[in-house]
Amino acid sequence: MAPQNKNAVPFLSFFHIFVPAKRKIMSRLRFDAVESAFSKKPLEVQDPGRPDEFFACKVFDKSKMFKYLPADVYSKMLNVIEGGESLDNSIIDSVAEGMKKWAIDSGATHYTHWFSPLTGTTAEKHDAFIDLDGKGGVIENFSGKLLTQQEPDASSFPNGGIRSTFEARGYSAWDPTSPAFLMGNTLCIPTIFVAYTGEALDYKAPLLKSISAVDKAATEVCRLFDKSVHKVYSYLGWEQEYFLIDEDLYMARPDLILTGRTLMGHESAKNQQLDDHYFGAIPERVAAFMKDLEIEALKLGIPAKTCHNETAPNQFELAPIYEQCNLAVDHNMILMSMMKDVARRHGFRVLLHEKPFNGVNGSGKHCNWSLGTDTGVQLMAPGKSDKDNLRFITFVVNTLSAIYRHNGLLKASVMSAANAHRLGGAEAPPAIISSFLGSEISSVLDHMETTDNFVKLLSKRELKLDIPQIPELLIDNTDRNRTSPFAFTGNRFEFRAVGAEANCAPAMIALNTAVAEQLEMFRDDVDALVRKGEEKEFAIVKVLRKYIKYCKPVRFDGNGYSDEWKDEAIKRGLDCESSTPLIFDNYLTKETIAMFRKENVMTESELKARNEIKWSTYTKKIQIEARVMGDLALNHIIPIATKYQSSLLDNIIKMETVLGKEEGDRLSKENIATVKEIAEHVADIRKLVDELINRRKVANKIESARKRAIAYHDGIAPMLEEIRQRIDALELMVDDQQWTLPKYRELLFF
Ligand code: ADP
Ligand code: MG
């Protein structure tokens, strides 16, 4: 039997035996929810047939284009998708026609431009395929113009002041490199979202620019080694972690509904100490959900590969095979919205919040990142020859140098109010960006740094490195330091600080752009030496040695969770700031602005606007949490606690009446102490909630978005923890039968 049911048995039997009718009067919601959660059966998932037959059936991919587009249009589209050519206006009507036909054949009735506004979720505006024909009938309406451009009301999306809200003009434009897909009965067309002034209002536009910046710079560096390289792709393989919570239990927790995390709740007696969950047998209901999720993902062309349990109870992970960065980012956004629907079908809710439960592992989204050439070479993987390995070392060292130079920015790219709970927490990467290389690569770099004749030219085509052979397969050799936020894992770097709920794009934009800038500097340095008459290979090694020295502070193979590392990181000059609003400042430093401008990814005004949004989003999140905390404390917790307190007082008085004052009081000593303790906690909570409200009023008057966020971070967020401590203490004291909110043990071990 599945382990979760094993956990369930003691609860169920306990309730059934000891609390039969009484609980119906008290705290109905919690116990009804628990009972309902335990009684659910797994949903039957229809077998969809062989994956190769239904994979991408909901995607207008190459095979559908081949079928639905005229031959010449199809081949032009291939040039756009694979060759990076721009879209030829003369074919868009024909593409729209084919796309519409496929969509309608597949049951679609509506279409939408699908984009990622800076809110972090995805947005859609649905239009029907049909229009009135003016003669009382309808005509099908979907032209090339409607495919390539749309005008959503930009005023309802955050723009950080780039556009004034009264002129609601921004437009979304088709990104033909990410295929259109079907969600329900809607054809979704991936688009970028920009203001009329040209500034990006979304993540995709700068992401595409960063991909092209790193392509250009990396291609130039590749050509030092191999003239046949003409394009470099950036790849992303994400691993999505999430929690599953039974829907009824979720509905009984207003904090989960409104903030995505539990603002209160004492740790369960059985917690993560028992790591039996990891790779444990997946309970039947979850197994059915996962099967369904995997099928839906495959139908949408998301190459889902691994689904398994994570470290924490009720925590799971889905990872697809890696893809080109742009597509992978879209696929992750599609998955995040689709999995919520699938979960509902199964009576679950998905929690993507980075830290839904205190004392339990948070959820991240490891972003596995690498570069690869159009000639099929993985640039972050060692090769067969010494020349391949020199190229491999070149890309590793340049990546490290980029990470070092922009370590603060990289941290800013993954920071949010929610991820702040995770980064720096006991189990997550710390709020310091460093890189783990593993002993093999580390010793190669150390050796190279200190050896003069590192490279020998045997002939024009062949060179010899003064190192023992780098094993071709490093993947299993890297000892997988789990505490590193940016770890080399054999053929890629794994950026682990990204939050579960985040769009991967900001992290990928920062990474691609920083690496592009560094590769350009590297190539310039090499070219300068060659111009001075240095042999190319010697020039490469010379420049590499310079950067190996340069990036040394960012290399750290030790335990990233230790306190010694924090002290050491400060000494090394790494960014150790832990306040989220201040971390965002990294987007506006001279170096960051210069980098984004030089690489043509974002302008200074775009960066400023984005930061306004980051700060105000941060404020809003804490503001909502503070409101919910205040309401729950006053309307749920205090009434429950006082009710229980009254029942104790009642008992104390009755004891006195029956046994006499002296004897009654002697025997009621503990109860009297509890009454007092509850009174103290209740008084504290009232005082703290009052203070919380006052501080909010003061903070809300602050004009500057940055200063307001700082006020929320410094003055309000810590109070949530203070109030929580009192509530969690009360949870342990108050009669379990009277507590109305589902407890951790119920939420996490249904
Ligand atoms: P783990 O959980 O052990 O880190 P997984 O197998 O769950 O590993 O996930 C690894 C992810 O890395 C997958 O998405 C995989 O496709 C991706 N990946 C593997 N090689 C590369 C690469 N060269 N570039 C980018 N991503 C990669
Ligand atoms: Mg991983």
3 state SS of 170: strand
Number of the ligand closest to the Cα of 369: 1
Number of the ligand closest to the Cα of 368: 1
Tens of pLDDT, residue by residue over 632-655, are 999 999 999 999 999 999 999 999
For the cut 60, the answer to whether the pLDDT of residue 183 exceeds it is: yes
Residue 126, both tokens? 């649905």
310 and 437 in a common domain: yes
Q: Which residues contact 687 (CB under 8 A, 6 or more apart)?
A: none
Q: Which residues contact 47 (CB under 8 A, 6 or more apart)?
A: none
Atom of ligand 1 nearest to the CA of 366: 4
Number of the ligand closest to the Cα of 364: 2
Q: Give kind and range of the element (H or E) at residue 365.
A: strand 365-373
Residue 276 or residue 218, greater confidence: 218
Q: Is residue 196 part of a domain?
A: yes
For ligand 2, the distance from its centroid to the CA atom of residue 486, given in whole angstroms, is 11
Atom of ligand 1 nearest to the CA of 308: 7
Give CA–CA dist 443/446, Å, rounded. 5
740 and 684 in a common domain: yes
The residue contributing the CA closest to ligand 1 atom 1 is 239
581 and 625 in a common domain: no
Last residue of a domain, one of 558, 577, 602: 602
Mean of the per-residue pLDDT values for the chain?
88
Residue 39 Cα distances to 10, 12, 316, 651, 727, angstroms:
14, 10, 22, 36, 30
For ligand 2, the distance from its centroid to the CA atom of residue 279, given in whole angstroms, is 14
644 and 562 in a common domain: no
For ligand 2, the distance from its centroid to the CA atom of residue 276, given in whole angstroms, is 20
Q: Which residues contact 337 (CB under 8 A, 6 or more apart)?
A: 121, 122, 183
The residue contributing the CA closest to ligand 1 atom 24 is 370
Rg value, the chain, Cα: 29
For the cut 80, the answer to whether the pLDDT of residue 125 exceeds it is: no
How would residue 17 be classed by pLDDT, with cut points 50, 70 and 90?
Answer: very low
Residue 176, number of CB atoms within 10 A of its CB = 19
256: CATH: 3.30.590.10
Best of 324, 365, 368 for a ligand 1 pocket test (most atoms within 8 Å of beta carbon) = 368
For ligand 1, the distance from its centroid to the CA atom of residue 368, given in whole angstroms, is 6
Best of 239, 363, 379 for a ligand 1 pocket test (most atoms within 8 Å of beta carbon) = 239
Query: For 462, phi and psi rounded to 5 degrees?
Result: -120, 135
For ligand 2, the distance from its centroid to the CA atom of residue 8, given in whole angstroms, is 31
Q: Is residue 21 part of a domain?
A: no
Q: What is the DSSP letter of 635?
A: I
Best of 240, 492, 494 for a ligand 1 pocket test (most atoms within 8 Å of beta carbon) = 492
The residue contributing the CA closest to ligand 1 atom 11 is 237
649 and 524 in a common domain: no
Number of the ligand closest to the Cα of 366: 2
Domain range for 132 is: 51-202
Q: Is residue 609 part of a domain?
A: no
For ligand 2, the distance from its centroid to the CA atom of residue 481, given in whole angstroms, is 11
Residue list, ligand 1 pocket, CB within 6 Å: 235, 237, 239, 306, 319-322, 366, 368-370, 378, 491-492
For the cut 50, the answer to whether the pLDDT of residue 25 exceeds it is: no
361 and 451 in a common domain: yes
For ligand 2, the distance from its centroid to the CA atom of residue 281, given in whole angstroms, is 20
358 and 474 in a common domain: yes
Number of the ligand closest to the Cα of 321: 1
For ligand 2, the distance from its centroid to the CA atom of residue 365, given in whole angstroms, is 8
Q: What is the DSSP letter of 364?
A: B
Residue 581, number of CB atoms within 10 A of its CB = 25
Last residue of a domain, one of 544, 568, 602: 602
Q: Is residue 39 part of a domain?
A: no
How would residue 89 be classed by pLDDT, with cut points 50, 70 and 90?
Answer: confident
Place of tokens 């890189």: 435
For the cut 90, the answer to whether the pLDDT of residue 424 exceeds it is: no
The residue contributing the CA closest to ligand 1 atom 5 is 319
Q: Is residue 8 part of a domain?
A: no
Q: Is residue 188 part of a domain?
A: yes
Q: Is residue 635 part of a domain?
A: yes
For the cut 70, the answer to whether the pLDDT of residue 425 exceeds it is: no
Q: Is residue 725 part of a domain?
A: yes
472 and 493 in a common domain: yes
Number of the ligand closest to the Cα of 429: 2
Last residue of a domain, one of 574, 602, 630: 602
Total structural domains in the chain?
3
588 and 621 in a common domain: no
Q: For residue 264, is it left (φ>0), alpha (ψ between -120 and 50) or beta?
A: beta
659 and 549 in a common domain: no
702: CATH: 1.20.120.1560
Tens of pLDDT, residue by residue over 262-309, are 999 998 776 554 444 433 455 888 999 999 999 999 999 999 987 777
Q: Which residues contact 507 (CB under 8 A, 6 or more apart)?
A: 367, 410, 413, 414, 495, 497, 498
Taking a C-beta distance cutoff of 8 angstroms, is the pair 371, 216 a contact?
no
Q: Dihedral, CA atoms, 145, 148, 150, 154, nearest 10 degrees?
A: -150
124 and 95 in a common domain: yes
Give CA–CA dist 343/245, Å, rounded. 9
For ligand 2, the distance from its centroid to the CA atom of residue 644, given in whole angstroms, is 47
For the cut 50, the answer to whether the pLDDT of residue 1 exceeds it is: no
Strands, E assignment, 490-559: 493-495
280 and 253 in a common domain: yes
How would residue 154 be classed by pLDDT, with cut points 50, 70 and 90?
Answer: low
For ligand 1, the distance from its centroid to the CA atom of residue 662, given in whole angstroms, is 71
Atom of ligand 1 nearest to the CA of 372: 23
Residue 583, number of CB atoms within 10 A of its CB = 23
Tens of pLDDT, residue by residue over 95-110, are 999 999 999 999 998 8
Taking a C-beta distance cutoff of 8 angstroms, is the pair 558, 412 a contact?
no
Residue 8 Cα distances to 39, 391, 747, angstroms:
10, 55, 11
166: CATH: 3.10.20.70
